[in-house]
Structure 1
Amino acid sequence: MNRALIPPTQAASDRRDLRRELRARRRALSPREQRLAATALARRLLQLPRVSHASRMGAYTAAGSELSLQCFLEHCAIERVALPQVVGTHMRFLPASAPKRRHHLGFEEPYGRRPWAIWSMSVILVPLLGFDAAGNRMGQGGGHYDRALARLRPRRPWLLGIAHDVQELEHVPTQTWDIPLDGIITPTRTILIQGT
C-alpha cells in the first residue's frame, strides 16, 4: 500500500480539498485490500493490553471506505462495546447490543434511551480521514467526536485513531477545538504518542 505523505503546504491550503484527496486514497483500496487491512488491524488491536483488557470500549461501524472494525469486534464481548449514535450535531454512545438502524450518513447506529457516559469507557476507537505521527486527526468535518470529548478534559478515555496507511499526512492542519489522539493503529503500524 502506498504511504506517500501529503506535504504540509498542500495540507494547509484547503481542508476541503485535502478531505477529498484522502477519501479518494481510501476508496482506491480494493475490496481484497480492505479485508486484509481489517484482519491485520484486528491482530494489532488485540495485542494492545489497554484495548484487550478494557472494561468498556467505544467503537464504530464503518461507513463507505472506512477501515472496518468488524473482524476485531468478533473477538470482543459485546457487553463491553458501545457504538456511536449521532443526533443532530451531538454524538453519544449506546451499547452495541442495542437495536440498529441506518443513519443518513451511511453507517449503522444503535438507538435507545440508555447511553453510556463517555468517561465510563477506558478506550474509544475513532475513525478518521487523515492523521500524522504527532497524534493529530482530521475527521469527516462534522466535529462530532471533538464536541463529545471536549468536556472531558483532562479525564477522558484513551483515544486510538483507526486508519489505513494511505491516510497518513506529513502534518495535519489543526484547529483549537481539535482533540489529539493518544495513538493511531493502522494495518501495519502501532503509533503510540509519548506520555500516553
Structure 2
Amino acid sequence: MQSSGSNPQLDKNTLRRQLLTQRQSMPVEQWRLFSQTLCQQLLDSSLWQQAQTVLAYMTFRQEPDLSWLFLQGQDRGWGLSRCVGQHLMWHRCNPLDPQILKKGKYGILEPYPDCPELSADEVDLILVPAVACDRKGYRLGYGGGYYDRLLSSPGWASIPTVGIVFERDLLEQLPTESWDQPLKAICTEKGLFSAKAVL
C-alpha cells in the first residue's frame, strides 16, 4: 500500500529528518524513564516470556535504550548485528560486555567478527529499532534497507518481530513501498500490541 503523493521516498526522507530531530531533543531524564518503562512493557509480554534467544540493538541517536532489559534478561541468549556489505550478520554475545563491541561503519556499537554467529533457527524474537512505526506494523528505518532484506529472507520471515519506538513516534500510517516488511508487533512505553497489517 503506497501513501498518497507522487514520491514516497521523498516523504520518508522528510519525515525521517523531522522525527530524528524531535527525538534527539528529548530531555535525557525523560528518555531514560521512557526507555525503562518500555523495557518493562517488553518484560511483561508473552513474546518475551516465551523467547530464549533475542536479537536486539545498541541504542543510537537516542533510540529507546534497552540496557535495563539486558540487565533483567541475563538468563536469555542475546544477539547483536554487524553490517556486512548490504546485509546484517548476527552474533551471539552479551550486550553488557563492552570488550566484545566496537563501533561499526555507521558509528553504532557492534560485535567483533569472531563472536559466534547466529542463524535464524536459533532465534525466538527480534527487537527492531526504528525512527517510527505505524499501527499496521510498518517501520520507518534509517534508509539502508537492512531489516527489510533480513525479514524477506527465508527462515527469518516467520520469527516474531517487535518494533521499538517511543509513543510519540507511533504514527497512524507511514508512507510505504513494495519491499517494506511489516512487523508483527510494536512496543512503546505505553504498551505492546499486535500490528494490524493489511496484506
TM-score of the alignment, normalized to the shorter chain, above 0.5: yes
Give the TM-score taking structure 1 as reference length: 0.87
**Residue 110 of structure 1 aligns with which residue?**
111
1:143 and 2:145 matched? yes
Q: Secondary structure, in 3 states, of the residue corresponding to 2:72?
A: coil
Contact 2:135 2:196 in 1 (8 A): no
Residue 55 of structure 1 corresponds to 52
Q: Is the 8 A contact 2:120 2:155 kept in 1?
A: no
Deviations 1:34-85 (A, max 9, x none): 1001110111000012213311110110112111111111111266110111
- Answer with 32-41 or 154-163: which moved more: 154-163
2:86·2:146 contact (CA, 8 Å) conserved in 1? yes
* Of 22-31 and 48-57, the range deviating more from structure 2: 48-57
AA aligned to 2:113 is G
Match of 1:121 among 123, 145, 162: 123
Aligned: 1:70 with 2:67: yes
Where do 1:85-100 residues align within 5 Å? 85-97=82-94, 99-100=100-101
**Structure 2 length-normalised TM:** 0.86
- Which residue, 151, 171, 180 being the options, matches 1:178? 180
Amino acid at match of 1:103: G
Identity, % of aligned positions: 27
Residues 39-50 of structure 1 aligned to structure 2 (within 5 Å): 39-50=36-47
* 1:17 and 2:5 matched: no
| SS in structure 2 at match of 1:85 | strand
Change over 3 Å in CA distance of 1:155–1:15 after alignment to 2: closer
Distance 1:40 1:131 in 2: 18
Cα distance in 1 for partners of 2:185, 2:123 equals 16
Unaligned runs of 5+ in 1: 1-6
* One of 173, 190, 193 as aligned partner of 2:192: 190
Task: Answer whether contact 1:93 1:118 (CA < 8 A) is retained.
Answer: no
Whether the 8 Å CA contact 2:52–2:76 is kept in 1: the answer is no
Counterpart secondary structure, 1:74: helix
What is the identity, as a one-letter code, of the residue corresponding to 1:131?
C
Q: Are the counterparts in 2 of residues 79 and 95 from structure 1 also a CA contact under 8 Å? A: no
Q: For residues 65-110 of structure 1, give each alpha carbon's deviation from its aligned partner in whole angstroms, at most 9, with x where no partner exists.
A: 1111111111112661101111122101101238211113121101
Aligned length: 188
SS at match of 1:101: strand
Given that residues 64 and 106 in structure 1 are in contact (C-alpha distance below 8 angstroms), is that contact kept between their aligned partners in structure 2? no
1:36 is the counterpart of 2:33: yes
What SS class does the counterpart of residue 29 from structure 2 fall into? Answer: helix
2:165 matched to which residue of 1? 163
